[in-house]
A and B are shown apart, each in its own frame.
Chain A
Amino acid sequence: MFKYFEPSKIFSITSKAPKYVLFLFIIILSIGLTEALILSPEDYKQSHSVRIMYVHVPAAWISLGIFSAITFLSIVGYIFKIRNFFLIAKSLAPSGLVFNIVALVTGSIWGKPTWGTWWAWDARITSMLILALFYIMYLIAWRIFEDNDRVFKVTSIITILGIINVPIIKYSVDWWNTLHQPASINILSKSSIHISMLFPLLTMTAAFALFSLLIFLMKYNTELIKIKNKGLDRL
């Protein structure tokens, strides 16, 4: 089964896909921005500041999702010695870090009118900051270590340590008294968010997911060409 993950087999797809993904991303983002900034209603308590949710929440969700995916790929790649899984994980990391930073900064901007402060050492915010540090450590490890075996081992350790933080981020609002409200969207039970706000939120999430796919494809193609460049040196 793993032979289907061979870079040479999937490069023909990944090299052609970015332009279609970019086109789709622009369309979905335009719809999302129109809904988020114009069509969605203001909140009865937070007024228009609630619109920040449409960039803050999807960015946080996707940064958590990407880190979980990186951890899964690193562990499976390490156990089954699939080098390409590490390449996929490495290509996902830059967009994961950017989404994490976006979540932190937009959260800080939202905090000022809502809580009266730009920053608080609240459990959710602090654990998101720790996740950003794990992303940075992960990316630095790829730059520091030249030897493949070593970099695979080190990045796997970083992701395993970092993944412990993911459930802490998710449940921090339930475990501790934090400034953040508990989750409004539940997959297993009824969500407390109104459909008029849920729709733009999901549209923006789809747009952000497409953007991370676009960056992943471009980065993955770059990494493959880098490997092929080394191959030409050896000829």
Chain B
Amino acid sequence: MIENLFFMNGYGLYVWSAFTFTLVSFLTLFLVIKIQYTKEKNKFIAKFGSLNSERAAFAKSQSINKEILSNTSNI
């Protein structure tokens, strides 16, 4: 059965390469987007940290900024 799953009557190379290409493409896209997300988030946190207390309080009054700062561990 295992042999049949790998070789598939001689079509194994085509089937497995199609599935592998698909999954590798997915993984690559996921990692690229994740890196972009982490980069922007770190930039935001760094910028927020450099604000003086008055500006930081104003920025924190916006709910979306608070959400970004509170969701540091999300994917």
The chain A residues found within 8 Å of chain B, CB to CB, are 7-8, 11-12, 15-16, 18-19, 22, 33, 36-38, 42, 47-49, 51-52, 55-56, 59, 94-95, 98, 101-102, 105-106, 109-110, 112-113, 211, 214-215, 218-219, 221-222, 224-226, 228-229, 231-233, 235
Within the complex, which residue of A7, A38, A222 is in contact with B40, where a contact is CB–CB below 8 Å?
A222
Q: Is the CB of B14 within 8 A of A94?
A: no
Q: Is the CB of A37 within 8 A of B5?
A: yes
- In the assembled complex, how far is the CB of residue B44 from the closest CB belonging to chain A, in whole angstroms? 5
Q: For B41, what are the chain A residues with a Cβ–Cβ distance below 8 Å? A: 225
C-beta contact mask, B34-69 vs A, less than 8 Å → 1, else 0? 101100110110011001000100110011110110
Q: For A219, what are the chain B residues with a Cβ–Cβ distance below 8 Å? A: 33, 36-37
The chain B residues found within 8 Å of chain A, CB to CB, are 5, 8-9, 11-12, 14-15, 17-19, 21-22, 25-26, 29-30, 32-34, 36-37, 40-41, 43-44, 47-48, 51, 55, 58-59, 62-65, 67-68, 71, 74-75
Provided the pairs A15-B67, A47-B9 are in contact, do residues A218 and B17 lie with their beta carbons within 8 angstroms? Answer: no
CA distance A101 to B19 in the complex (A): 13
A sample of 29 cross-chain residue pairs with beta-carbon separation below 8 angstroms, ordered by A number, consists of A8-B62, A36-B19, A37-B15, A37-B19, A47-B9, A47-B11, A48-B9, A48-B12, A49-B8, A49-B14, A52-B15, A52-B18, A56-B18, A59-B22, A98-B26, A98-B29, A102-B25, A109-B21, A112-B14, A113-B14, A215-B30, A218-B75, A224-B68, A226-B40, A228-B65, A232-B48, A232-B51, A233-B47, A235-B51
Within the complex, which residue of B8, B14, B25, B32 is in contact with A110, where a contact is CB–CB below 8 Å?
B14
Would you call the interface of chain B mostly helix, strand, loop, or mixed? Answer: helix
Would you call the interface of chain A mostly helix, strand, loop, or mixed? Answer: helix
Provided the pairs A16-B71, A22-B75, A229-B43 are in contact, do residues A48 and B8 lie with their beta carbons within 8 angstroms? Answer: yes
Q: Is the CB of B44 within 8 A of A228?
A: yes
Within the complex, which residue of B26, B32, B63 is in contact with A211, where a contact is CB–CB below 8 Å?
B26
Provided the pairs A22-B75, A49-B14 are in contact, do residues A38 and B5 lie with their beta carbons within 8 angstroms? Answer: yes
Q: For A33, what are the chain B residues with a Cβ–Cβ distance below 8 Å? A: 19
- In the assembled complex, how far is the CB of residue B54 from the closest CB belonging to chain A, in whole angstroms? 10
CA distance A52 to B40 in the complex (A): 37
- In the assembled complex, how far is the CB of residue B67 from the closest CB belonging to chain A, in whole angstroms? 5
CA distance A112 to B14 in the complex (A): 8
User: Quick one: which of B9, B40, B41, B55 has the most chain A CB within 10 A?
Assistant: B40
Within the complex, which residue of B11, B44, B64 is in contact with A48, where a contact is CB–CB below 8 Å?
B11
Within the complex, which residue of B36, B40, B74 is in contact with A18, where a contact is CB–CB below 8 Å?
B74
- In the assembled complex, how far is the CB of residue A148 from the closest CB belonging to chain B, in whole angstroms? 18
Provided the pairs A215-B29, A222-B33, A228-B68 are in contact, do residues A235 and B62 lie with their beta carbons within 8 angstroms? Answer: no
